[in-house]
Amino acid sequence: MEQGRDTSTDQGLAQRIMQLEALVSQQQVAIAAYQEQLERQNEQLVLLKRALFSSRRERYLPSPDQRLLFSSPSLDPPAGDEDVAADSGDEEPPLARPARPRRGGQEFVFPEGLPQRRIEYPLPPEQQVCSCCQQPRVVINQQVTRQLELEPAQAYVVEHVRFTYACPKCRVGEQVQTSTRPPLPIEKSPFGPSVLATIAVYKYARHMSLYREQEQLLGPLRKWLSRSLLCRLVRGTAEALRPLALRLLELILSGFVIQGDETTAPYLDRSSDKALLGYFWGFAGDGEHRYVAFDFHTSRGRAGPSEILANYQGYLQSDGYSVYTSLANAAPARLTHVGCWARARRKFEEALYTTSHPLLHETLAAIGQLYDVEDSASSLSNDARRALREAESRPILEPLHERLSAARPLMRPTSKLAEAIGYALARWPSLLRYLDDGRLAIDTNHLERQFRPLAQGRSNWLFLGRETAGPTAAILYSVIQSARLNEVDVLPYLTDVLRHLPAVAVDDKQRIDEFLPDRWLAAHPEHHLVARERESRQAQTRRKTRRAARRAASQRQAAGNG
């Protein structure tokens, strides 16, 4: 009996142990899941703090204490740098930031041709008499202080007069004839092209909402314009510019490469008690067609870009959004997708705040080397640029792909670094495609810069008043941004276009081409923003100089650590 009880007790204990082991296993699985969830939430918290408080500039500066695990000829410092670093000590980098002139050190030059007004400040009559001899004083010198003043725009009324002619001898009604006038941008509207251009430029180039334009226009017009009236004027202006916007898109689609991207645009609808989300789709042309075109749709599906790209044949460069890749996969003989290294780099840059894995720094350093090659190739011809990429960029990418492929299975799938590696590996063929043609860019930053004014305006006007306002804004953004891209003074350009374009037939492409920003600028060089172009070039030169100085300093640090 005792032996039977012992056997049953042992079986009970064994069963209890198995139950406890199963429970421990379940708890370990739950702990691992909670741990993974906690790490993911910590990463999200770090990224949220970075978005709220950190700088938005995407720049990777390797720490002098950070050593790269892998080495390649492209990532190693050039031969001889170690000896130079050892001998130079604390010398200044060879490419230092150019000294900026002190503020206020340059004398302001007044523009020529401005009218001048003279304001005199004589002494009061009682002080013009000499206190010694009581004789009147005379002027022996003048001290002139010059200042630049500004007055608000002056409005004026233009009378369009048409004459009716008749024969005083025949007095036949069929011989009566009235002269014609050119078509107006908005027929039967009391507002001329300059007023319409001003309203459009205020809103879509200077990011001013319409209710602020009411106050801005009150001074020169001396009349309060209601917001509903301003909306109708903006809509009519867009309709007048529609042939030009369509022509811009047609020329963009005639290039060998087109860049595509999209951004959000909230809009109001009576069927919803909150703002709905629409999208502006942007497309930029190649170097021979420096234009940008926008399109508006209420969804982020493929219906919008598929309609625009239905007959396009060439390279389509974009980020990794599935709509663009699906369009290219559906028509491989017509569309070739090109990836964007800026988007891939951005994924790794986000992981920089959540992990210190050595592969992360290795990847960012390699991508930095790719952009160094692009800096040195910016002034080369297309064939020379392709040869340089093949010689210097491809040797960087091949070992990088091997290291990323080997490291991906060893990482937590939900970590930011694993997501960045997965993003790059899934799009690796398209990321390599820019090496095949020197005319292709390494990223779509050119198009992203054209979205900045739209984002600045969106922060002011907050949302579109209705769904139909989206296509109106897309037309005006297309024309205005294309003009700004070609360094054209937008206000006189838009005024001239609105004055003459309505008289051109919609299918007369040759006449419409006269109003393209670059061709119009060639005929009106006085409206070229030379100072803006010079300012942009100087800023670009400073950026290249700073990047070259950072590269030289990084190479010396790497040589010193070696």
Q: What's residue 95's pLDDT? A: 46
CA 503 to chain centre: 34
Q: How far apart are CA 513 and CA 505, in angstroms?
A: 12
Contacts of 378 (CB under 8 A, 6+ apart): none
Look at the alpha carbons of 433, 434, 439, 441 in this order and tell me if their dihedral is positive or negative.
Answer: positive
Which neighbouring-strand residues pair with 278? Answer: 265
> Which of 440, 475, 499 is the endpoint of a domain?
440
Which residue, of 382, 412, 440, is where some domain finishes? 440
The domain total for the chain is 2
Single-letter amino acid, residue 138: V
Output the pLDDT for position 306: 93
Nearest to 349 by CA among 50, 36, 70: 50
> Which residue range forms the structural domain that includes residue 547?
537-562
Q: How far is 419 from 413, CA to CA, in rounded Å?
A: 7
| CA neighbor of 360 nearest in space, from 418, 307, 412, 294 | 418
φ/ψ bin of 76: left (φ > 0), alpha (ψ from -120 to 50), beta (otherwise): beta
**455's tokens:** 């984002």
In a domain, 328, yes or no: no
Structural domain includes residue 108:
no
440, 468, 488: which is the final residue of a domain? 440
Compute the 3-state secondary structure of the chain and give helix, strand, coil in percent, each to the nearest 5: 55, 10, 40
Q: Is 8 exposed, middle or buried (0-12, 13-18, 19+ CB in 10 A)?
A: exposed
CA 52 and chain centroid, separation: 21
Segments of the chain with pLDDT less than 50: 71, 73-96, 104
Q: What sign for the dihedral angle of Cα 308, 245, 280, 485?
A: positive
Per-residue pLDDT of 106-159, as tens digits, reads: 677 888 888 888 988 888 988 888 888 888 888 888 888 888 888 777 888 988
Contact 322, 343 (CB under 8 A): no
Question: Count of residues for the chain?
Answer: 562
Sort 143 into a burial class: Cβ within 10 Å, 0-12 / 13-18 / 19+.
exposed
Q: Is residue 22 part of a domain?
A: no
Tokens of 162: 């048409």
Sign of CA dihedral 83, 85, 86, 89: positive
Q: With contact defined as beta carbons under 8 Å apart, do 354 and 47 qualify?
A: yes
SS3 205: coil
Determine, yes or no, domain membership for 404: yes
**CA atoms in the 13 A half-sphere facing the CB of 358:** 8
CA nearest 427: which of 450, 452, 404?
404
Inside any domain, residue 383: yes
* 153: in domain: no
Has residue 449 been placed in a domain?
no
Count the helices and strands in the chain (H runs, E runs).
19, 7
- pLDDT score recorded for residue 41: 82
Task: Provide the pLDDT for residue 92.
Answer: 42
What's the pLDDT score for residue 88? 39
**Is beta strand 314-317 parallel, antiparallel or unpaired with respect to 335-338?**
parallel
Q: How far apart are the C-alpha atoms of 373 and 385, rounded to whole Å?
A: 9
- Identify whether 259 is part of a domain: no
Using a cut of 0.85, tell me whether the model's pTM lies above it.
no
